[in-house]
Structure 1
Amino acid sequence: MMTLCLGAGALANCPSGCSCNDDTLVVVCEESRLDVLPIALNPSIQRLIIRNNKIKTIDSSMQFYADLQHLDLSQNHLVSIPNRSFAYQRKLQELHLNRNKISAVSNATFQGLTALTVLNLRRNFLEELGPGVFATLPRLEELNIGQNRISRLDPRAFAGLSALRILYIDDNQLNAVPTTSFALLGSLAELHVGLNAFSSLSDDAFAGLNRLSVLDLNGAGLSNISEHAFRGLPGLRSLNLFGNRLDTVPTHQLAVLTRLEELYIGQNDFTVLEKNSFNGLKNLKFLDVTGALQLERIEKGAFDDNVNLETVGFANNKKLTAIEDGTFVGLPKLKHVTLRDNAIVTLGETVFVGKELKQVDLSDNPLVCDCRLLWLQELLSEKSNFSTAQCAAPDHLKDRPLRTLAADELGCVLHDSRQQTIICIALAVAGAALTVLCIVLYKYRKNMREKLKDYKLNKRAIRKDLEYQKTFSTEEDYIVRGIHPGQYPAPPAPPHAPGLRPIPVTEL
């Protein structure tokens, strides 16, 4: 009965505009126009979400909620946090203070939060971090201090964070990688440090982070990466170099990342992906080159060393017109190819081949639909899950899906590409046989001429012999009949003269 009364009392004290649930022990006050923390909530609540209100400070009322595990005070008007404000929240695991106006924190700010695993200070006004500012958070696993104004980190700013696994320090005002500060984070697995103003990476820029698996340098302003910048990162699996100022692919620098599986390198300034651009990255599975506005050509052999590639993305590269034949050949695991929104006019039949392909996206390219694309039309017809490619030219085919066109509409004389192949092979074989015959005739021309001469002589001799035999046979016949050579036999009697018989020849 007492429990019921307590529940009813707690519900009765739920502030206007809030949702209070004593079964789940969750209180949500979103856009409730609160300017102070409510003091009369159920003291047993575990999740308190007071987001997008007008609270300016954290007062002593926090001491009444010692069972809190999750506290969200994001999108308020907090300017500062008094020391020991969370001294009684020893069960608190997540604290979200993002999108406020906090300009400073100290090593006394978070005292008492010995169970905290997630701290979110993103999008505040922090300018620097002093030594040991988070030292009272021994179990902290994720720290987000991105989108602040931090330009200076004390070398011992992250002291005591032996359990930290994820760090966001992106979108600040750092002009160099704070290598000495990072060296204290031996357990760090994921580092987001982009959108700063580094311009270059020095050798061993991430020394000490030998457990790092994800490194995000998106928009860091990099134009130069030194030879050994990524040394000491043996387990790195994902690297984001998107949105920098690299004019060539840093092939040699990347080659040490032998376990790399994901690489984002779009929105840079290189004009060509040359042969072996990603040499050494034998475990690479995912490659994204999006929005590289200067990229014009991908050479055959660019991915010769990347036999485990499964997905490649080339989208929104407005100058990309040439993908050489055989570019994606030799990639037996390739399943997804995105070539959307480039400047591709045509593609050779041998750009990619493979039974494993599950998706090809060629949409939004200025394709010229002629017989050169008959192979692609057949491929699109066979693979229903491939994207629709539309024609940009010639005019009478503009905006028509390539999949729906017949061979004669593409200007092909032969409708069957296999028939074309067979005929070409037959012609090639016939041509080769004719060439061999000519060579043989030319090589043995003297022997053949002599044999032909012998043949003619033999034929003439045979003819004379036949004539001689005929003559000799006639003379014998005359002798047998008692007629000497030079005499003619008497003409035979007419068949109609009755009673006449031939006169027998008396033998001598």
Structure 2
Amino acid sequence: MTMRFLPAVIFLGTFALRWSVEAGKCPRVCSCDSTKLTVACVDKNLTEVPSTIDEITVKLDLKHNNLQVLPRGAFMRTPYLTHLNLQRCNIVKVKEGAFRMLGRVVSLNLAHNKIDILYQESFDGLSSLKELQLDHNRVEEIQPGAFMQLGSLNMLALTHNQLVYIPNMAFQGLQNIKWLRLSHNSINNLAPEAFASLFTLTRLSLDHNELQFFPTQAMTRPREVTRLDLSHNPMIYLGEESISMAKLTHLYLDHMSLQDLSEQALSQAPMLSHLDLSHNQLHYLDPLSGPKKLVSLNLTANPIYCSCYMRPLRNWASRGGVKLLGACAGPPHLSEEPLRAVAAVDMRCRSKGDQLKDEFEEEEEKMPAVSSTPTAKPKGNVKCPVNCDCDIEAQHATCENGGHTKVPRGFPAKTQLLDLRSNRFHDIPANSFPGTSQVISLHLEFCKIHQLAGGAFRGMKSLFYLYLSDNDLTSLDPEAFSGAPELSYLHLEGNRLAQFPGSALRLLPSLFVLHLERNAISKLEPAGLLSSVTPKLRELYLTNNTIRTIARGALDSALLGKLHLDANQLTDVPIDAISNAPNLEELNLSQNRILSVGPDAFKPVSQSLKWLYMDQMNMEKMSQDSLASLGPGLKALTLKGNQLKELPDLSFLTGLEVVDLQDNPLLCDCTLLPLRRWMDNVSLEVGATCGHPPVLKGQKIRNLDLFKSCTSDSSSTSDRKGLVAPAQVKVKKAKLNSVKAPGVKAKPGKNNVKQPKQTKKKPQRKPVAATVTKKKKVITVKTV
């Protein structure tokens, strides 16, 4: 019997011996679980993949390191991996063959890195990969064949990158892809074959991009798509047969700029069941031809006028059992009434209806004219100027880099996007764009323009986007934009404007976003500059000018939500300039020479401010109460690249999601006790290191024992309403001069801080919701 079981005993002994040997192979800075075959080397400042990881490891977590470049064969020693986490590793480049030998990996996380190009063989070897996370990188180019080796991939996430254009066959090789996520990029154009070969794709996310027109041709290629999200794109209307997707069931077109929708727009989407058109500019809607299974039509937050023009839609919805969501915006007696509750008979043009009809038609004239019936495709040659290309179906025309010295004429009447960039026009005279009343987007970048005559864009009543970037403009004629009342996005960055062009902007009542980066503006005045000139402005970009002074109230605006003043010559926080900007959410003051920030510096915008950037300002002092008025609404605070030795009180900023203190020479003594307590009491991962004194340089604040000898009284080194008191800082340093190294107890001596006896307090319990019902927030705080 003993001999019978001897082989099993030998096997178990050998297995146990092997694991005892293998346990020694765990990299020194990592945590290894031999039972689950997992290795975690998180936040260890690694610059390369450890070479001593056990080859039978199946899950490897390397997030929060400093790998920068993944070389060829980076994971040759771990061929059995199934899950690999490389997020937040400062990865700039993935070299050809970096993942070879990883034929078993099913999940790869490369999110939150700095990758800008996806090369042809970047993912070679990942033949079993199911999920690839590339979100929050800097990807701006996808080379042909980048995904050829990913035939098993089900989900690809490329959200929050810098993609502008998707070329033909960009995703070739993804034979089993189910969900493609391209949200939060800057995509304004899709090649006709961009999604060709994606025969299994069922879900496509393109929300939060810059698409001005529905990409009809590109969308006909992925024939199995059932869910399409195009919300938050600046589309104004959908023409006939825009959407030709036979299996589409859910379509999201919310939060766009839709002013009109052809009744034939969805005629080629017969399976559509849910259509979201909420948060647009629709005044009415015709019954939709095509969808036979529609059950929900969301028109919430549209200015719907419930007159006789809406009666056909109401009857159509009742007959088809379509649930209408939304409410009437008018007439007054039906205002805010739910659409589903208003009877069709009540939707009428009452007595003296001609007057109402005239008012309604005035609103219609502001919308692009769209025929309600399909038009025949043109035959023969399309009318188009010399050295230009005109696509009458896409309604695009381009003369980019065509050698023109005068604005060409004779474009098709229905042209909506007109691209004239990289020509040499020098000056644009009055009435330079006849016959372009339907143009929505006009590109005039890099055209050497130094003068715009009054009425240069006269007749462009549909113009919504105007790009005048990187020209030679030094000033603007007060009438330069007359005749373009719908202009909402204006790009003037990269010119030589010496003054804020307020007089010219008065003719743009709909201006929403204004770009004035890289000009020569030195001051902003008088008071009320924005409120009197651009009352609807939401975003103002003044980065990289020479602004030194801003008049009190100059930037007051009821709707302003985003203000970038970085890379200027300000010496104080310009809070007086925005004293009446109740909706300001984002303020960027980085790269100004603001050396100190006083108490309650941001009080006027404390109820709205969510993102505050103050990097690389050589700032030396911040009052303990400088951020006191902001409270839980603040989500992001960056102070990197300054000269701060102490920090303001952060304890009340309970809503923070991003904090960056990199390259600040923090002084590690009792003055940092509030920071240490904050780090201990919040459900955040905070990594902060010392800059001073030299013996503690580079040490993590969380690991220091010196704070045990600090008391609340000893940490109060500054007037709560003033700036840091240097004399008191010196006292703190003297008290701690016996500390030799973190974790080493100081010997008794006259310089040691004696901690008074206290009754032991129960540790404060963190809210259960923070650890159970919420995902853990991750905040990286780095200092040098």
Tell me the residue number matched to 1:55: none
Match of residue 241, structure 1, among 539, 542, 553: 542
Q: Is the 8 A contact 1:112 1:136 kept in 2?
A: yes
Alpha-carbon distance in structure 2 between the residues aligned to 1:276 and 1:135: 45
Quick check: 1:114 aligned with 2:413? yes
Residue 310 (1) aligns with residue 610 (2): yes
> Structure 1 residue 193: deviation in Å?
1.1
The percent of aligned pairs where both chains have the same amino acid is 24
Q: Give the corresponding residue for 2:207.
A: none
CA pair 300-66 structure 1, distance change in 2 beyond 3 A: farther
Partner of 1:361 in structure 2?
660
Pairwise CA distance, 1:283? 1.0
Is 2:589–2:613's contact at 8 Å kept on the other side of the alignment?
Answer: yes
Secondary structure, counterpart of 1:269 in structure 2: coil
Q: Which amino acid aligns with 1:323?
A: M
- Equivalence map 1:48-447=2 (5 Å): 82-83=385-386, 89-98=391-400, 100=401, 102-108=403-409, 111-201=410-500, 204-227=503-526, 229-230=529-530, 231-255=532-556, 257-273=557-573, 276-292=576-592, 294-306=593-605, 307-317=607-617, 319-332=618-631, 333-349=633-649, 353-383=652-682, 385=684, 388-406=687-705, 408=706, 410=707, 413-414=709-710
Does structure 1 retain, via aligned residues, the 8 Å contact 2:519–2:545? yes
In structure 2, relative to structure 1, the CA distance for the partners of 1:249 and 1:327 (3 Å cut) is: farther
In the alignment, structure 2 segments of 5+ residues that lack a partner are: 1-166, 170-189, 195-215, 219-376, 717-784
Residue 153 to residue 374, structure 1, CA distance change in 2 (3 Å): same
CA distance in 1, matches of 2:590, 2:625: 21
Deviation at 1:298, TM superposition (A): 1.8
Shift of 1:249: 3.6
Shift in Å, 1:325: 2.1
- SS of match in other structure, 1:366: coil
RMSD: 3.3
Q: AA paired with 1:260?
A: L
Cα pair 1:177 1:205 within 8 Å, conserved? yes
Give distance in 2, aligned partners of 1:381 and 1:177: 56
Alpha carbons 1:196, 1:220 under 8 Å: kept = yes
Give CA deviations for 1:364-390 in whole Å, capped at 9, x if unaligned.
211111111122123234446465332
Q: How many residues align?
A: 345
Structure 1 match to 2:84? none
Distance of 2:484 and 2:663 partners within structure 1: 45
In terms of Rg, which structure is larger? 1
Q: Secondary structure at the match of 1:251?
A: coil
Q: Are the structure 2 counterparts of residues 104 and 202 from structure 1 closer, same or farther at C-alpha, using a change threshold of 3 Å?
A: closer
What is the distance in 1 between the residues matched to 2:713 and 2:517? 47
> Which one-letter code corresponds to 2:546 in the other structure?
R
Amino acid in the other structure paired with 1:356? G
**Counterpart AA for 1:342:** N
**AA in 2 matched with 1:271:** T
- Partners of 2:616 and 2:644 lie apart in 1 by 11
Q: What SS is found at the alignment partner of 1:199?
A: coil
What is the distance in 1 between the residues matched to 2:543 and 2:448? 22
Structure 1 gap ranges (5+): 1-17, 29-44, 48-64, 69-80, 422-508
Cα offset, 1:316, TM superposition = 1.9
| Alpha-carbon distance change, 420 to 392 in structure 1, aligned in 2, over 3 angstroms | closer
Greater fraction helix = 1
The SS at the match of 2:505 is: coil
Report if aligned partners of 2:481, 2:504 keep a CA contact under 8 Å in 1: no
- For the structure 1 residues 123 and 374, does the alpha-carbon distance in structure 2 shift closer, same or farther, using more than 3 Å as the test? farther
Mapped contact 2:473–2:496 kept (Cα < 8 A) = yes
| Cα offsets for 1:259-307 (capped at 9, x unmatched) | 1110000111111226645211111111111221x22122223311102
Q: In the alignment, residue 258 of structure 1 is paired with which amino acid? A: A
Cα distance in structure 2, aligned partners of 1:284 and 1:296: 23
Change (3 A) 1:193 1:85: closer
The amino acid of 2:628's aligned partner reads V
Q: Contact 2:450/2:474 (CA < 8 Å) preserved in 1? A: yes
Q: Is the 8 A contact 2:674 2:715 kept in 1?
A: no
- Separation of aligned partners in 1, 2:522 and 2:397: 37
* Alignment deviations for residues 422-481 of structure 1 (CA, whole Å, 9 cap, x no partner): xxxxxxxxxxxxxxxxxxxxxxxxxxxxxxxxxxxxxxxxxxxxxxxxxxxxxxxxxxxx
The verdict on how the C-alpha distance between 1:420 and 1:346 changes in structure 2, with shifts beyond 3 A counting, is: closer
Distance 1:233 1:391 in 2: 47
User: Contact 1:276–1:304 (CA<8 Å) still a contact in 2?
Assistant: no
Alignment-mate amino acid for residue 320 of structure 1: M
Partners of 1:193 and 1:135 in 2: CA distance: 23
Structure 1 CA distance for aligned equivalents of residues 501 and 525 of structure 2 = 5
State whether residues 524 and 549 of structure 2, in contact with CA within 8 Å, keep that contact through their aligned partners in structure 1.
no
Q: CA–CA distance in 2 between the matches of 1:206 and 1:164?
A: 15
Q: SS of 2:566's equivalent?
A: coil
Q: Separation in 2 of the partners of 1:371 and 1:207?
A: 55
Query: Offset at 1:420?
Result: 8.7
CA distance in 1, matches of 2:654, 2:217: 54
Contact 1:277 1:302 in 2 (8 A): no
1:96 deviates by: 4.6
> Equivalents in 2 of 1:251, 1:352: separation in Å?
31
CA distance in 2, matches of 1:119, 1:397: 61
Q: Do the aligned partners of residues 322 and 140 (structure 1) sit closer, same or farther apart at CA in structure 2, a change above 3 Å counting? A: same
The Cα of 1:335 is off from its aligned counterpart by 1.7
- The 1:150–1:420 alpha-carbon spacing in structure 2 relative to 1, beyond 3 Å, is closer
Per-residue Cα deviation, 1:76-101 (whole angstroms, up to 9, x for no partner)? xxxxx9449557x4333234554x25
Post-superposition Cα deviations, 1:206-234, rounded to whole Å, max 9, x if no partner, equal: 11111111111112210133315432311
Contact 2:523 2:550 in 1 (8 A): no
CA shift, 1:310, in A, is 0.9
Matched letter for residue 407 of structure 2: S
State the one-letter code of the partner of 2:635.
K
Greater RCO (CA < 8 Å, at least 6 residues apart) = 1
Matched position secondary structure for 1:125: coil
With over 3 angstroms needed to count, the CA separation of the structure-2 counterparts of 1:310 and 1:419, relative to structure 1, is same
**Could you tell me which residue of structure 2 aligns to residue 477 of structure 1?**
none
Identify if the C-alpha distance between structure 1 residues 282 and 85 changes in structure 2 by more than 3 Å, giving closer, same or farther: closer
- Using the alignment, how far apart are the partners of 2:402 and 2:596 within structure 1? 47
Contact 2:510-2:536 at 8 Å conserved across structures: yes
In 2, are the aligned partners of 1:103 and 1:127 still within 8 Å (CA)? no
TM-superposed deviation, 1:393: 1.0
Offset, 1:190:
1.0
Structure 1 residues 312 and 67: alpha-carbon distance in aligned structure 2, compared to 1, 3 A threshold: farther
